[in-house]
Amino acid sequence: MGVLCLAVLTGTGCSLFSGANLGEASPFSKAEQFDFRTNSTQQLVAEAVTNVYRLGVGDVLAISVYGEDGSLRETPVDPNGNITYVLTGAVPAAGRTIDELRADLQARVAAKLSRAILNIVPVRFGSQTYTILGELNYPGTYLIEGRTTIVDAVAKARGLRTGYFRNSTAEMADFRHATLMRNGQVLPLDFEALLRQGDSTQNRMLQNGDIITIPSSLVKSIYVLGEVNFPRTVGFVSSVSLIQALTEAQGIKTTSDGRIVIVRGSLSRPVVTVAHYDKMLAGKEPNLSLLPGDIVFVPPDRYAFLREIVEKAISAFATTVAHETAVKLFNESIGTQNNSTTTRPVIVP
C-alpha cells in the first residue's frame, strides 16, 4: 500500500491509496469523501409543483366549447408558438401550461359567448423529449408526456437489460456510475438508492433535453479527462498505473497546474485523492495503481476548490460515457436496418 501526501488546496493532508475499493471505509479513512445526494422529499414536492409541462411547437390540442356543436377543433402549436381557434384567432401557447392557455382562451371566448365553458385536451405531445441510454432493453429518445420521472423513463425503456453470467441471469447495469445530465451538468442523485432500494427521494422529474445514462457493469475502463492532450477511455486489462494512464492520454497540458484528481466509487458519494504530476515524475510521490471505473481528471489551474473540481470531473465523465453509449446505440440501429429480428429503436415516439 502506497502512502501519498496530498496538498488538498486549502491545506496539507496525507491520504492512502491502494488496490482496495475506495468505497470501503478503513483503508481510506483520510481520503476526501463527498456526498452529492442532496434531494429531499420537500425538494421533490416543490419540483413536482414547479416542473409542470409547458407547451411547445409540435404539441397538438383539442379545443371545444361545452354544449356547442361543431366547436371542436384539433390545433397544433405552430412554428411561431401560437395556436389558432375559430373564436379567438392566433393565441400564444408555447411556454405556457395547459391551465394558463385555458384561462387566456376562456377570457377571449367569454367576450363573444358570455357563458361559454372552454375545454382543452392534449391530443399529442411532440415538443419535449428526454434520452435514456445504456443498459436498457429499449434505449432511445422518448417524448415527455406530462410529469415524467426517472422511474417512468426506465419503465418506458422496458426496464434494465440482463445477461447470462456464470450460469445465471445477471443485471448488467452499473448504478454507481449512472448519471442524469441537464444543460451540461450532472444532477446530484443516487441511482443505486433509487433503483435498488426504492428511495423515492432520488426520483427526479425529467425536463426537456435531459440525458439519463446507465453504463454497463461489464465495461472495465479508466477515464482520463480534463487538461490532457488526448482525453480518452483506457481499457483495463490486468493493471494500469496513473502514469501509464496519463501517458495514454499523451500527457497533461500547460493549462494545468499539475494536480491530478482521482475519483473512485459511487458518483453520488465519491472518494477523491489528489496527486501531483511533477512529483510523481521526480519520484517524490508513488505511481498509483488504478482500478476499473476510476476517473482521472486533470483540472485547469483556475479551479481552486476540490468540490468544484470533482463536480467538473463527474460532468466530463457523464458527457464522455453518454457520447460513447449514443454512438454505440446509433451503430446498432444502423445494423437493425438489415436485421428484422432486432427491434431496439433510436427514437421512440
Tell me if 139 is assigned to some domain: yes
Q: Which of the two residues, 145 and 195, has the higher pLDDT score? A: 195
| DSSP letter assigned to residue 29 | T
Percent of the chain with pLDDT strictly greater than 90: 47
CATH classification of the domain holding 65: 3.30.1950.10
| Nine cell digits for residue 94 | 408555447
Count of residues in the chain? 349
In the predicted model, is pLDDT for residue 168 greater than 60? no
pLDDT, tens only, 244-290 = 999 999 999 999 989 999 999 999 999 999 999 999 999 999 999 99
Q: If you average pLDDT over residues 189-212, what whole number do you get?
A: 91
Q: If you average pLDDT over residues 60-68, what whole number do you get?
A: 89
State how far the Cα of 143 lies from the Cα of 307, in Å rounded to an integer.
34
Rounded to 5 degrees, φ, ψ at 143 are -80, 140
Q: Report yes or no: 205 and 51 within 8 Å, Cβ to Cβ.
A: yes
Tell me if 289 is assigned to some domain: yes
State how far the Cα of 329 lies from the Cα of 346, in Å rounded to an integer.
7
State how far the Cα of 141 lies from the Cα of 209, in Å rounded to an integer.
10
Question: Structurally, how many domains does the chain consist of?
Answer: 3
Domain of 138, in residue numbers: 41-49+128-217+325-348
| Nine cell digits for residue 39 | 434531494
Neighbours of 127 (CB within 10 A): 20
DSSP of 114-142: TT--EEEEEEE--S-EEEEEESBSS-EEE
Tell me if 8 is assigned to some domain: yes
pLDDT band at 126 (very low <50, low <70, confident <90, very high): confident
- With cell 419503465, the residue in question is 155
Tell me if 54 is assigned to some domain: no
Q: Which helix (H) or strand (E) holds 315?
A: helix 306-336
Any idea which of 51-55, 200-204, 326-330 has the lowest mean pLDDT?
51-55
CATH classification of the domain holding 148: 3.10.560.10
